[in-house]
Amino acid sequence: MLPEFSVIIPARNAAKTIAACLQAIDASSVLPSEVLVVNDGSSDATKDCASAYPCRIVDVCLQRGPMEARYEGARKAKSDILVFIDADVCVSPGSFEKILDHFKDAGLSAVTGLLAPTAPDENFFSAYKNEYMNFIFKRQPRESLFLYGSLWAIRAGDMIYFDAISKPFGSLVSDSEMGFRLRMSGKRILLDKTLAVTHLKKYQWYSLLQNDFKIPFLFSVMLLRYRAMFSKTRRRRFSHASTGQALATVLSGTAVATLILGCALVSGPLMVLALWQFFAVFLYWIPFLKQVYGARDAGWALKAAAWIPLDGAVMCAGMMSGFVYGLAGLFAENGTGCTQ
């Protein structure tokens, strides 16, 4: 007999996607004992849309990112296994069965999944995000250092309640923080690369760039907070970001900056240097471009190739800004006698 489990969905202004999310849960091969939709101060029709489905709505007004809403759901959940799903994704019919099967391993604390590479009604920027995240996560080890917010599950007794990084953009990386804290406590996390959810979020170029600035910003702040754990693991990655990925991101930033400077100064040597830097960036991302070329077409892969350095430059700006912000916070704490 399969154990009971609770599904918890943090939702803020999710009226466009919450119905599809709940429909997918209803179509699952194994149904949860309860579904809790944590309606976090939504100003749209999120609550009305969710009310049409068999779920319990928990009204809160926290507005500090998804982790605080997840905590509220976890405190009210009745099952020993908690499954967290974002309001803008759809699970596949067999997702819950896979999760419960993994928890037959008594030594396992948490399970996480990844984004499917495709989704319905994609534009280029939404499709790029899905392809990129799928590619990055499929290169991760099975024994994971992180959790991925779109879909993760945990034993209720292993849930850790902590003050997640929430400034200045909200707790967007709190799932990775949870993963770090679990690993620091000696707990095991499994990444199931077949546990893919369909991402319904729509991006435009500006919203994707905003996202890709904020996440690396907060990752830099997180690296400073968890630097001791990172040094102990001696792994060539931080959460799902590898050293090579970080270097390619920095190189994208320097390539764009060098090109702009070369054009401003009308400097041939700087422009040539920028071209070599762009070439190195493309070399790193060749496996990704091969994947999207095979899955889509040559034209789409060319668009992705053109987007990679710009997106990487914005990520680089986010990383550098996050380090400055994080270091300023550490100095302020040390100056007031506070400890991390």
- State pLDDT tens for residues 127-181: 999 999 999 999 988 998 889 999 999 999 999 999 999 889 988 899 989 998 9
pLDDT at 73 exceeding the cut of 50: yes
Other CB atoms within a 10 A radius of the CB of residue 264 amount to 9
Residue range 234-262: mean pLDDT, rounded? 83
CA atoms within 13 A on the CB side of 131: 25
Other CB atoms within a 10 A radius of the CB of residue 196 amount to 23
Of 123, 91, 103, 238, residue with least CA distance to 177 = 238
Residue range 97-124: mean pLDDT, rounded? 95
Element spanning 7, H or E: strand 5-11
> pLDDT class for 233, splitting at 50, 70, 90?
very low
pLDDT at 242 exceeding the cut of 90: no
How many residues are given for the chain?
Answer: 340
Give the Cα separation of 213 and 312 in Å (integer): 9
Question: Does this model's pTM top 0.85?
Answer: yes
Residue range 54-81: mean pLDDT, rounded? 93
DSSP state of 96: H
How confident is the model at residue 207, as a pLDDT? 96
Question: Hey, CA dihedral for 36, 114, 105, 70, is it positive or negative?
Answer: negative
How confident is the model at residue 239, as a pLDDT? 59
- The ranges assigned to domains in the chain are 5-203, 237-335
Mean pLDDT over each residue of the chain, to the nearest integer: 91
How confident is the model at residue 202, as a pLDDT? 94
Pairing of strands 237-238, 241-242: antiparallel
Task: Calculate what percentage of the chain has a pLDDT beyond 90.
Answer: 79
**Two structure tokens written together for 314:** 């914005």
Please name the CATH architecture into which domain 5-203 falls: Alpha-Beta Complex (3.90)
- State pLDDT tens for residues 204-216: 999 999 999 999 9
